[in-house]
Structure 1
Amino acid sequence: MFRIRREDPFSLHAAQEQAEDAARAVRLVQALEKSGAGWFWETDSQGCLTYLSYEIEQILHGASAQNRGLTDVFKMDGQGGGIGRTLSFHLSTKTGFADLAVETRHDPSVRWWSISGSPRFDKQDQFIGFVGYGSDLTEKRRVDADINRLAYSDALTGLANRQRMQTVLTQTLSSTRSGFDPVALLLLDLDRFKSVNDTLGHQAGDELLGQVAKRLMQAMGNVGLVGRLGGDEFQIIMSGGEVRSVAEHFATNIIDIVSKPYLIDNLPVTIGCSIGIAYSPEHGTHSESLTRNADLALYRAKGDGRGVHRVFTAEMLAGARTRKQLEDDLRVALTNDELHLAYQPVVSVGSGRIVGCEALLRWRHPQLGQISPADFIPVAEDCGLIEALGEWVLRTAIHNATMLPGNIRVAVNVSPIQFGNPGFAAIVANALANHDIAPDRIELEITEGVFLRDTDSSDKMFKALKGLGVRLALDDFGTGYSALGYLKTAPFDKIKIDKSFVRGAINKGNRNAAIIQSIVMLADALGMETTAEGVEQQDEIELIRELGCTHIQGFVYGLPMPLNDFVEQLTAQGEAAPPVGYKISRAPRNKVIRNAKLVLGDRTYNVAIRNISAEGMMIEGPAFAGESVGLMVHIETPERARLPAIIRWVRDGKTGLQAISKPMNA
């Protein structure tokens, strides 16, 4: 008799559900694998792959990865075998891991992956391997790389930007303090780049910066990291045991490479480069101090004529502190009545009479005595005081002009920074409105530097100033930016011929006379007057007359003097201007070599007397600035003889003195 076995309906239903769940899981896994969003892997207890999603296996190496160790397929992102040690640790400790960033060992394409895994155990709780999943990180990594590049790269040149250079410098110096190699920091500043930007446009300037960046990269290779800090400033970081011996060599090479001509919009363009260098640890062990000292060296390089490199010295820091003190004192001087104006006559060549004067700024420091404008004007420009100083000079000169005869013009220097201020014309108008004075008695002297600024704004300023009725003079013509093209439209009333062309013009074979004559002919054609500056000898007066200049200014007609003295001179002799300078270009001189001391204010300098003539001497010693000309000094000899004299000229480390009384015998 057969008995029919009945299945438990509940057990059968459960088994069917389990089978359906398993099938569903397989379908979901397959769908996920095919989508490329994720993949799965499995290993045995030894860490060898027993399963790897087919799609990922094909991507990785196109052949079966089974029975290969997981660490044979993947490696830590950029770290070689680092992930192998990590997986070995997890395999040996039977612990899970999540989101490990890896790349494949043998895939020629660059791919990154994220993998996670959990240990598996059998019913007897014996470890039998890992099971895990992974996902593609490639696109995310590329996006991150783009973001990183934007954050740490200069968009214009592709070089490292300021933030990255700062980070690298800080990290490198930290390694140095831990006993690693020294560091060289080079700061680069392009010379004459602004003129390219202003004349050819910003697009041409950007193209030029790109070409400079390529040259810097080629020059440095892998020796150092090159970055752009902004504008036309670049930085180079070098490290290694030989940086002290090679950094200056690279600096010289870079200056030469950067200074070679460029082709921008089919036009040849030439610029230059100045470099400051500081070494760590001797010049600083932190990024702030090292950067400051490299910047001081760059400042010295530019001050030494540009196109050179300089290495930081302690004297540079002392000089910076002196400039800072000078800046602080100058701010006080503006409010403490320490500034005054000196007036130098301007004489008509035709009549020999004084027709005007130039107002020159002077500063008598309460402790340091007379300070040369060559020392404090650059400080004022650097620290932003030049506009306040310039406005004080303008208002004071206009006020003082009311104390002079009505036919005497007063010339006032205007810096390019003042001229570039859109409100400058309003300042002039206000100063004129406060005094009952004819506007054409005020002559604003403007240097060629104004033409380096935006042409449209310059034209508007010229028009506004001429609308006020003031006169305009082009100062120091020929010594800076070539302004010939602008003379066609700039409404100048006068061209002032720089003293560098006047000096030596009377000497046989000197070409300066021809240059002066050419400038005079140009000015005549444009309906402009001319003033020859820096005339010192009486026999130069006749030459200036023959060359056609309309006016003369220089020591030959008097030193700059206080307003009261100038008024007394006009009162005593009218407007006649008898020459007071040397009668001939060079008095007979005896060559001597004699040590002496020069006293200027409260300072004493050791000097060597080289030549003595009937009217003065030539000495070697301190390098006085050109603005020291006209200052009173005393020469003391070992015999304690004391001779008062006036500085007449300075050049090439030599100083010419005019004796106020007869000089000592040779």
Structure 2
Amino acid sequence: MLIGSYDYSLVLLSLCVAILASYTALDLAGRIASARGVARSLWIVGGALAMGIGIWSMHFVGMLAFSLPIPLGYDLTITLLSLGIAILASGFALWLVSQPELPAWQLGLGALAMGTGIAAMHYIGMAALRMQPGIDYDPLLFGLSLLIAVVASGAALWIAFRLRRDTPYVRVARAGAAVIMGVAIVGMHFTGMAAANFAEGSYCAAAGSGLGSGWLASLVVVVTLAVLAIALLTSILDARLEARTALLSQSLARANAELTELALHDGLTKLPNRLLLEDRIGQSILKVQRNGGHFALLFMDLDGFKPVNDAFGHHIGDQLLVAVAQRLRANLRAQDSLARIGGDEFVLLAELRQADDAASVAGQVVSLLSQPFRVDEHELRVSTSVGIAVYPGDGSNQQELLINADAAMYHAKGLGKNGYSFFERSMNTNARQQLQLLHDLRAALERGEFLLYYQPKFATGSERMIGAEALLRWQHPQQGLLTPDRFIGLAEKTGLIIAIGDWVLNEACRQMRLWYEQGRRDWRVAVNLSALQFCHGELVESVRRTLDRHGLPANCLTLEITESTAMHDVNASLAILEQLAGMGVDIAIDDFGTGYSSLLYLKRLPANELKIDRGFVRDLEHDGDDAAIVSAIVALGQALDLRIVAEGVETRQQQAFLTELGCDSLQGYLLGQPLPPEHLSAA
């Protein structure tokens, strides 16, 4: 019997190839498990080629490591057949571990099929020697090699199935498993080699015409390593690409979720916005139509929010809105929905057992928001006006219900604020009129529909005209001449008062320039500032530019602000008034006696003039209290060295009384009604 020997360097090389092939197979199993469609099929085919070549290469290098004392060669056709069997077995294995589940019976059948394929590869590869006489195999070792092939295949399939998902340290686990699988495959091969017996006098029929063994080992190893490296690198790069794609997909999903959140929620308070509210109203309508019942829309508008926003700044205003939202949300019932639909407007969608229950919910909301808020060390107080629209009854869809609840809210404001009002059909007419008036107001400035009337002021005693107060009028194309009480509220609510106020200031100074050129150099023109205009950051610069534009001395202009506006934030008011006074502009405190009347703060304001409110003047002749208040105001003004102006003088008795008290100037219908400037000049 011929005795064979081994080149142990090639044996070690075959073991390394087996381990590398096993790791590549495990990695490819992971790629196949995550692939879909055509890509999955391509990975199985490519993986079968790489894994089959790797396993066959281990077998073939192991055979090349074996030598006999006779020349050896390998039949090309039979060798290629063994390679094809290795590829087919590898493809079957990869397909099997890519299935969603791998039950025990399927694992057993797969191990048997794959083990048979590997054994067939080995023994067909041995047949490529074409030994004469044929190779005699030891039955015990032959059976043991088959058993090792089946067990190793089963273990390989189970390991590949378990390690196909990307988990922490999966590559380390695959490396360890690859070593075990490689040792098992090599063990099967060399067990099969040990089973082979070569009779004395045997010769290899393929020695002359077949593949030689001198250079073949190096070629097979180089080609195999190239194939395995390409497969492994492709798998790793694809895994990274997939991971980046998954990361990008997650980022896109998060971005979409954030965009959806932004599209459906208010950015400041995080409450649902109008779009989401309308959707929920639609769902509630369907629910009531299906199951019966009621729900109400409570349209809330904060009373006193704009003065807070103007006095303390938008930052504090925003914090106040957040605090309002948090308070309302904290007291929300589970079945109700709260939304912010813009500015200081909130809407509560409340499910009701009975339609009348809406009054109880509205009362709770009014009470809740009437309590003070603590915002950035400021104690702020606002209230709310609530309009209520109930479904069914007050609208058939989302838009009608919101419009009607809004109309009811305006009605509640008209009743004195800090309360609620149910919708009534008559409110629609008023609401439409207000909307039309607002639409017209937005265009009035551009169309030049505003004009100024001037009510003269007279020196007490001599009845000499010393100036006039500019009073805004709107020449509405349909409704005629409108006084400020018809539209100033809308202008303040929408912020249009800033642009309108700038126009009034400019027009009054333009007219004063004409009077100045006519020799009326002792006159002053008075302009009222709204609270919003007074707190506007551009006020001082706007006044300076206007005076410069018309070449007007600053002392020809008197700016009138209400006592409440001046005292709302005394420090901020002082800063603005001191800048105006520094320019030489006169400052008048309008409606004195109706607001704070704080002597402590009044003496700090750089004012030149006090105006006694017409409410005190009206009943001077009949009300002793009003007479006493007027006397006190005059005495106070004289003590502080301020000019005293009394407005609303309509009778000779009022004129005489105010003159005797020592008022500096008088204003009222008795002395002169508001007139266009050309009529005033003629007078």
How would you bin the TM-score normalised by the shorter chain? Answer: 0.5 to 0.7
Q: Give the whole-Å Cα distance in 2 for the aligned partners of 1:332 and 1:30.
A: 74
Alignment partner of 2:511 out of 400, 404, 409? 400
Q: Give the whole-Å Cα distance in 1 for the aligned partners of 2:572 and 2:378.
A: 25
State whether structure 2 residue 570 is matched by structure 1 residue 438: no
**Deviation string, structure 1 residues 234-255 (Cα, Å, up to 9, x no partner):** 321123452x211123212321
SS in 1 for 2:487: helix
Q: Over aligned residues, Cα RMSD in angstroms?
A: 4.5
8 Å CA contact 1:439, 1:468 repeated in 2: yes
The residue number in structure 2 matching 1:188 is: 300
The residue number in structure 1 matching 2:609 is: 494
State whether structure 2 residue 433 is matched by structure 1 residue 322: yes
8 Å CA contact 1:517, 1:548 repeated in 2: no
**Deviation string, structure 1 residues 545-584 (Cα, Å, up to 9, x no partner):** 4544332211221221232332233xxxxxxxxxxxxxxx
8 Å CA contact 1:414, 1:444 repeated in 2: yes
More strand by proportion, 1 or 2? 1
Give the residue type in structure 2 aligned to 1:321. R
Alignment partner of 1:16 out of 140, 143, 148? 148
The offset of 1:292, in angstroms, is 2.9
The offset of 1:272, in angstroms, is 1.8
The residue number in structure 1 matching 2:500 is: 389
The residue number in structure 2 matching 1:289 is: 400
State whether structure 2 residue 589 is matched by structure 1 residue 477: no
Give the residue type in structure 2 aligned to 1:542. A
Q: Give the whole-Å Cα distance in 2 for the aligned partners of 1:210 and 1:327.
A: 28
The structure with the larger Rg is 2
8 Å CA contact 1:387, 1:417 repeated in 2: yes
The residue number in structure 1 matching 2:70 is: none
Q: Larger RCO: Structure 1 or Structure 2 (Cα < 8 Å, ≥ 6 residues apart)?
A: 2
The residue number in structure 2 matching 1:554 is: 668
SS in 2 for 1:536: coil
More helix by proportion, 1 or 2? 2
SS in 1 for 2:621: coil
Q: Give the whole-Å Cα distance in 1 for the aligned partners of 2:376 and 2:503.
A: 44
- Please give the residue correspondences for 1:447-458 in structure 2 after superposition, counting only pairs within 5 Å: 447-448=562-563, 450-451=565-566
SS in 2 for 1:405: coil
Give the residue type in structure 2 aligned to 1:359. A
SS in 2 for 1:257: helix
SS in 2 for 1:238: strand
- TM-score by length of structure 1 reads 0.58
Runs (5+) with no aligned partner, structure 1 = 39-143, 570-666
The residue number in structure 2 matching 1:535 is: 649
The offset of 1:527, in angstroms, is 3.2
Q: Give the whole-Å Cα distance in 1 for the aligned partners of 2:351 and 2:604.
A: 53
**Deviation string, structure 1 residues 466-525 (Cα, Å, up to 9, x no partner):** 344322222223445777665455422212222123232332443x33433443344344
**Deviation string, structure 1 residues 134-182 (Cα, Å, up to 9, x no partner):** xxxxxxxxxx999999997879878666665444233223444667544
State whether structure 2 residue 384 is matched by structure 1 residue 273: yes
Tell me which moved more, 406-415 or 360-369.
360-369
Indicate the percent of aligned positions where both proteins have the same amino acid: 37
The offset of 1:256, in angstroms, is 2.7
Tell me which moved more, 303-312 or 329-338.
329-338
The residue number in structure 2 matching 1:415 is: 530
The offset of 1:411, in angstroms, is 1.2
Tell me which moved more, 552-561 or 150-159.
150-159
8 Å CA contact 1:198, 1:453 repeated in 2: no
The offset of 1:445, in angstroms, is 1.9
State whether structure 2 residue 354 is matched by structure 1 residue 239: no
**Deviation string, structure 1 residues 180-200 (Cα, Å, up to 9, x no partner):** 544311122332345556667
Tell me which moved more, 372-381 or 262-271.
262-271
The residue number in structure 2 matching 1:638 is: none
Q: Give the whole-Å Cα distance in 2 for the aligned partners of 1:176 and 1:295.
A: 22
- Please give the residue correspondences for 1:369-384 in structure 2 after superposition, counting only pairs within 5 Å: 369-384=480-495
Give the residue type in structure 2 aligned to 1:183. F
Is the alpha carbon distance of 1:12 and 1:495 closer, same or farther for their aligned partners in structure 2, counting shifts above 3 Å? Answer: farther
SS in 2 for 1:557: coil
Q: Give the whole-Å Cα distance in 1 for the aligned partners of 2:313 and 2:530.
A: 23
**Deviation string, structure 1 residues 586-621 (Cα, Å, up to 9, x no partner):** xxxxxxxxxxxxxxxxxxxxxxxxxxxxxxxxxxxx
Q: Give the whole-Å Cα distance in 1 for the aligned partners of 2:396 and 2:352.
A: 15
Q: Give the whole-Å Cα distance in 1 for the aligned partners of 2:553 and 2:520.
A: 12
The offset of 1:320, in angstroms, is 3.4
Is the alpha carbon distance of 1:451 and 1:177 closer, same or farther for their aligned partners in structure 2, counting shifts above 3 Å? Answer: farther
Give the residue type in structure 2 aligned to 1:378. G
- Please give the residue correspondences for 1:41-56 in structure 2 after superposition, counting only pairs within 5 Å: none
The offset of 1:275, in angstroms, is 0.7
Q: Give the whole-Å Cα distance in 2 for the aligned partners of 1:506 and 1:335.
A: 46
Q: Give the whole-Å Cα distance in 2 for the aligned partners of 1:563 and 1:415.
A: 22
8 Å CA contact 1:448, 1:481 repeated in 2: yes
Q: Give the whole-Å Cα distance in 2 for the aligned partners of 1:261 and 1:409.
A: 42
The residue number in structure 2 matching 1:310 is: 421
Tell me which moved more, 532-541 or 322-331.
322-331
8 Å CA contact 2:574, 2:606 repeated in 1: no
8 Å CA contact 2:385, 2:409 repeated in 1: yes
Give the residue type in structure 2 aligned to 1:568. A
**Deviation string, structure 1 residues 627-656 (Cα, Å, up to 9, x no partner):** xxxxxxxxxxxxxxxxxxxxxxxxxxxxxx
State whether structure 2 residue 634 is matched by structure 1 residue 520: yes
State whether structure 2 residue 338 is matched by structure 1 residue 226: yes
- TM-score by length of structure 2 reads 0.56
The residue number in structure 2 matching 1:168 is: 280
